[in-house]
Amino acid sequence: MFEGGKIQNISLSNNAFIGPIPKSIGNCSDLIRVWFDGNLLIGDISESFGLHPKLNFVNLSMNSFQGELTDKWGKFKELETLIVSQNKITGIIPRELGDSVMLHHIDLSSNMLVGNIPKELGNLKAMLKLYLNNNKLSGPIPKELGSLTQLLDLDLSNNKLNGSIPATLAYCRPLVSLVLSHNDLDHEVPPEILKLTQLTKLDLSHNSLVGGISSEFQNLQSIEFLNLSHNHLSGTIPSVFVGMRSLTFADVSYNYLEGRIPKCNAFPNASMLEGNKGLCGDIVGFKSCTISIKHKHVRSLVIVLTILGALVFLSTDIGLVICYEKRKKIPKTEVFREEQQSLFCITNFDGKALYDEIMIATNNFDVEFCIGEGTHGTVFKAILGSDKIVAVKKLDSQFQKSNDRSFVNEVTTLISIKHRNVVKLYGFCSHARHSFLIYAYLERGSLKAVLDEENEAMRLDWSKRLNIIKGVADALSYMHHDCSPPIVHRDLSSKNILLDADYEAHVSDFGSAKFLKLDSSNWSELAGTYGYIAPEFAYTMRVTEKCDVYSFGVLTLEVIKGQHPHDLIAVLLSPFSEKVDSKDLMDHRTAPPSLQTKKILESVIMVAIECLQTIPERRPTMEHSLTS
């Protein structure tokens, strides 16, 4: 196929080529640049190339190459870029790779590499981008990486690295993005790292880091994204976060933090702070920092009045009126015989009996029965009677004493929604001590949990994923077009999609939902989960159904890719970016789709991209999305 030694560039990207690279490529002694990415190529990567003294650029990503990287790659003295991500490469990273001193871009991500990161990579003084994420690398991060003084991006996430974060990384002064999440790193965050003033992204989440969050974080004046979640950090959140003007996202959830929460725009909602039992502040879901004993009676009165107000609102809501009118003719002895044998009638049930039964079933909301977190509350599993399992969402105490109407929103919204892809509400209880909602229990939990767990994600084949997307679209279309007035969820995310035993999707957590008044401007407070919020809502605060459409676009790509698309959204929408192949957007943990399924997925991806349009008017309606 490749005859003659004068061929310098071979570009075969994003085709459907199958099989190994022809051996005749070894005849191309003048070869400089190679693009074989985005195909179905196979074979042993160690046998795919000969010795090409002028080789400068190699991109073999998104194929099915196997085998190991050998010391041969250290003999390409002109090599500047080596990209072999998303293949099936095994073995170790050869230390001889450090001999290719011209290398400035290495991407070995999403393979099955094992062993240590060789310290010899510190010899690559021209290195700008180093991606070793999504492998099975172990051992410490070599301190020699601090010698990469030109480094801009370093991603070592999703490995099994241990030990401390080397302070020598502070010598990589141009570093813009440092991602070390999902490893076994421990010790404190080195203060030297906090002198990297060019950093815009720092992700240290899902490790075992200890110590406090230092006030030295204020040195990161360029930081936009900061994730310290799921560690063992303690102490308080420093007030310096308030002055970090560029910081737009900060996640410190699931640590051991305590004290007052700074009033910082980087915490758009309580989910960025949850899992820290000692925090307090003026954010819904957290206790107040200033409640004193003398205010207890006043607080009790506020709780009582809030509950009474909620009940008054509920009694006048049209959904409750309809429900009451429908059921008032039913004798109380038949209240448990309604359609599908629901445990509780929304308007006719013995509140005290329900309250006592839930208390017994959850052992007074013991942590042993906790199965997750939701908007304004914690979700518990309860077995009622002999075999009826329900999910009970207990409202946070801080929320119960507030004037927030999200509890009322959730009840009245779910009363008015009757759809197979919306979580079923069995009942509710307003009580001076505990208020809670009782839902159908869905066995597989949240979509996010399924996608995050390797084995569960592998079982989520393309048929199931497409059905999940369709189920969510069905639910939103019903809410937007079949309910009067229309209902906007406002917090659609993979955390709020629950899956039953058959992987059927159910939209949940309606605490932020809003009934649209078609004759008003629908201004509202900020609601939603970071990464899913429509861009216009952040600065206009105007709620429309197109906010849900944007979130649906993000969610659709997440289901197909297996993870949140993050920066890929901007790439997909930019007219100046190179076309992204659909294979780049598909979860490689799932078996490749058939040709017919691939065409369907590509069509769904196109709809998702339309949903992500920056201008709301350009997004389709959910009704149109279903027919696309």
Cβ(510)–Cβ(409) under 8 Å?
A: yes
Residue with tokens 């509350």: 377
* 460 C-beta neighbours (distance < 10 Å), count: 22
- Which residue, among 41, 37, 82, 45, has the nearest Cα to 66 in the 3D structure? 45
Task: Look up residue 276 and give its two tokens.
Answer: 């820290």
Distance CA 338, CA 332 (A): 11
Distance CA 601, CA 453 (A): 22
Cβ neighbors of 148 (< 8 A, separation 6 or more) are 121, 122, 124, 125, 127, 130, 154, 172
Active site residue 491: yes
Task: Look up residue 346 and give its two tokens.
Answer: 């929304």
Q: In 428-532, where does DSSP find H-type helix?
A: 447-452, 454-459, 462-481
3-state secondary structure of 169: helix
Helix axes 545-561, 462-481, angle to 10 degrees: 180
Dmax of the chain from CA atoms? 91
User: Of the listed 153, 396, 491, 509, which one is catalytic?
Assistant: 491
- Which residue, among 19, 86, 21, 48, has the nearest Cα to 583 in the 3D structure? 86
Cβ(171)–Cβ(198) under 8 Å?
A: no
For 292-344, the DSSP string reads: -GGGHHHHHHHHHHHHHHHHHHHHHSHHHHHHHHHHTTS-GGGGGGSGGG-S-
Cβ neighbors of 122 (< 8 A, separation 6 or more) are 98, 142, 144, 145, 146, 147, 148
The secondary structure element, H or E, covering residue 557 is helix 545-561
Residue with tokens 């075999």: 387
Alpha carbon of 15 to those of 40, 44, 389, 420: distances in Å?
8, 20, 50, 41
Active site residues: 491
